[in-house]
Amino acid sequence: MRYHIWTLGCQMNVADSQRLASELERQGHQAAASPDEADILVINTCVVRQSAEDKAYGRLQELAKLKRTQPDKVIGLMGCLVGVRAPERLREKLPQVDVFMPPSDPQPMLDFLQTRAAEADARALEAEARARQDFLQDHPEEAEGALVLPAHERGHLVSAHVPVVYGCSHACTYCIIPFRRGIEKSRPVGEILGHVRSLARQGVREVTLLGQIVDRYGKDVPDGPNLAQLLRLVHRVAEEEGIYRIRFLTSHPNWMTDELLDAVADLPRVMPQIEVPVQAGNDEVLARMRRGYTVAQYRELVSKIRARVPDVAIHCDIIVGFPGETEAQFQDTYDLLAELKLDKVHLARYSPRPHTVSARTMPDDVPPEEKKRRHQLLEALQAQVSAEINARYVGRAVEVLVEGQHKGKWRGRTPQNKLVFFADEGQDWRGKLARVEIVSASAWSMQGRVLSGELVRG
């Protein structure tokens, strides 16, 4: 059977979909080139914002029509729309769905397909299963945590995500993640290292360690390692196995420690890029969000990061139109971003999510058109800031890890995660490090020319 997975939302969902694909191929199924060719259709959902949930329900309506005409298709629903609680509440509402999977848990789909295969002739699955077993024999992996990539990614995927913390226990007033994904749970160190090692042996050259609050890795494990210590262990594996780059996200201002910054500064394969959301530039709004820090503390943290990590790029998140946000409070956010001049800002308009404190107790009193206006103002400001920052790279030589091709040019990223394009028909650059001189830059990307052959990294 062939499968197709639609993934909505965050990098954690991307990693969950990859894990599901890997397990499906372990059973002998294959990826479909298009949804029309698939026998198994899965939607991996996000409900952090209303727009993401609306996309999921729109896709489900399409699949309801498909199920009526092709009832043998297997429809799966995964992720935060299902949540960590029992999905019975969804069964009557979504009769087109055969399998409901909580976040990060592919097992219900695997059990469903195994049952179906046991009831039918499974011989059609044997060829891919044998090929997969041959791959495992040729590439001995550590059993703990190992991930065999889906066949269409094996040997082609340059950058991959590695979850290290599932769930979240912080509970900001606007966030539905704790309700949908459950409390914080750190993965065992051996499992993480096995995951990284297995990715390296399949051609991956960059890994990003993921967590809703990744800095809290190990907080739920007595005497366990923290994120800084984990980075040092992953770095050792990277040196042994040929991983060029390590990143981590998303951080929280309360848990960004000096020890963690020291690890970023000390370890050459940990990239100088840190994503640490501020969400708002006004203390009253931050208190209503229950973020746990002040604007002054965030400003001090940015200064500390820049002092400790040379040439660092800092990314952050902002929510506009949070309940009660006045024009003056929004202006504080605008002024903070204009002052700090961060490399990248992920902007979102507030939308109330069920089961959150803000949805239960705070009126959504900023009109949609005002949210849009504030969003556009910050968007224009950040475009100007990003363009100014990127312009400083013109004339500089930078190291680019090449991910693939786009419209006839090679596409890759600098250590600061800035997007670079360059033309070179004489070499296959995928998965390699190139030394590139930047010749022009915009707010969103840079253009360059390659200066030499492949940069070799031991």
Bridging pattern class, strands 2-7 and 40-45: parallel
Final residue before a domain boundary, out of 106, 136, 166:
136
Res 319: pLDDT: 98
Last residue of a domain, one of 136, 167, 198: 136
DSSP label at residue 120: S
Q: Which residue has the higher pLDDT, 381 or 152?
A: 381
**Collapsed DSSP state (helix, strand, coil) of residue 439:** strand
Whether residue 371 is contained in a domain is answered as yes
What's the whole-number mean pLDDT along residues 184-206? 96
CATH number at residue 256: 3.30.750.210
Identify whether 38 is part of a domain: yes
pLDDT digits (tens, 9 = 90+) for 273-297: 999 999 999 999 999 999 999 999 9
Residue 213 has pLDDT above 50, yes or no: yes
In terms of domains, do 186 and 246 share one?
A: yes
Same domain, 154 and 241: yes
- Lowest-pLDDT range of 34-48, 83-97, 301-315, 348-362: 83-97
Query: Phi-psi region for residue 182, left (φ > 0), alpha (ψ -120 to 50) or beta?
Result: left
Whether this prediction's pTM lies above 0.95 is answered by no
Give me the number of domains the chain comprises: 4
Both 438 and 373 in a single domain? Answer: no
Residues whose CB falls within 8 Å of the CB of residue 196, separated by 6 or more in sequence, listed in order: 162, 207, 234, 237, 238, 241, 243
Q: What CA dihedral angle connects 142, 145, 150 and 151, to 10 degrees?
A: 0
For residue 46, give every residue at least 6 positions away whose Cβ sits within 8 Å of its Cβ, in sequence order, or none.
8, 9, 10, 13, 52, 53, 56, 79, 80, 81
Place of tokens 């009769």: 95
Interval 326-346: pLDDT, tens: 999 999 999 999 999 999 999
Q: Containing domain of residue 6, as a range? A: 2-136
> What is the predicted pLDDT for the residue at 190?
94
Per the domain annotation, does 281 fall within a domain?
no
d(CA 413, CA 445): 9
Q: Are residues 329 and 420 in the same domain?
A: no
User: Residue 386: which CATH number?
Assistant: 3.30.750.200
- The Cα–Cα gap between 62 and 222 comes to 47
Task: Quickly state the pLDDT bin for 122 (edges 50, 70, 90).
Answer: very low
In this structure, which amino acid lies at residue 341?
A: K
pLDDT value at residue 426: 85
Cα-flanking dihedrals φ and ψ of residue 434, to 5°? -120, 145
Does 79 fall in a domain? yes
